[in-house]
Structure 1
Amino acid sequence: MTPAALEKAALALAGAELGIKWGEDRVYSVGGKMFAATDGAATNLSMKVTDIAFEALTETGRAKPALYAARFKWVMFDDLSALEPDEVKDWLKTAHGLVAEKLPKKQRAALGLAG
């Protein structure tokens, strides 16, 4: 997946925003809460995943626990360009949903999110 395709897919999700943090990291958020991030060059990708996906991705070696965020079930892929775009889009939707569902009901409604 290319960095441009990642950005397009992430920002297509309801209420998603892009910000720059920690110098040059590209951070995708919903309601001010992060759901995915890349380094400044967008060579790697970190994101929130389900408990089952965390176990499957880390145990198979496809991803590693994300530094500082593994306890929150975040994984990191070292090479964004080696990932299949459709798979990444699905992961982004899941990551976005996991974070969005924790937002207050009023905030979700203001962002155009269901429920």
Structure 2
Amino acid sequence: MTLDDLNTFCATLAATHHVVQWGDHDVWKVGIEGKGKVFAIAGTQPDGHLSVSFKVSDMAFEILRDHPDCRPAPYLASRGMKWIQYYTGDQMTDDEVRDLLQDSHRLVAAGLPKKTQKELGL
């Protein structure tokens, strides 16, 4: 999966918007623009691999932190958040990455106020 593929996919998820933040990172948020919550932070590493961090469930965090293509997301996981970074791209399929991004979107959207969820059709 390329960064363009990831951005194209994230754009198909409900109530999302994209910003470039923290230097040159592609950041995807769900919610009202300007008030959304981050569900994916992506970029391309010097070796060309896609790097993307995303929120996961407690169980997925326990499983994915030992996956050869993943690691606890720098900065986020060290602060106790359940975020994983996909960074090598050698074993995980593009469909698996898309499923994880969709789950992250769902988890973050579920944390929005109920009124906002209703307004956005989530």
Which of structures 1 and 2 has the larger relative contact order (alpha carbons within 8 angstroms, sep 6+)?
1
Q: Decide which of 81, 87, 96 is 1:87's aligned counterpart.
A: 96
TM-score (norm 2): 0.83
Tell me the CA shift for residue 9 of structure 1. Answer: 1.2
Matches within 5 A, 1:68-79: 68-70=75-77, 71-79=80-88
1:59-104 Cα shifts (integer Å, max 9, x gaps): 2343111111112100112235864211111111100000000101
Tell me, yes or no, if the aligned pair for 1:10 and 1:28 is still in contact at 8 Å. yes
Q: As a proportion of its length, which structure holds more helix?
A: 1
The amino acid that maps onto 1:38 is A
Residue in structure 2 matched with residue 20 of structure 1 by the alignment? 20
Residue in structure 2 matched with residue 3 of structure 1 by the alignment? 3
Unaligned runs of 5+ in 2: none
Unaligned runs of 5+ in 1: none
Q: 1:16 to 1:28 in 2, by over 3 A?
A: same
RMSD over aligned Cα atoms: 1.9
> What is the aligned-residue identity percentage?
39
Tell me, yes or no, if the aligned pair for 1:24 and 1:40 is still in contact at 8 Å. no
TM-score (norm 1): 0.87
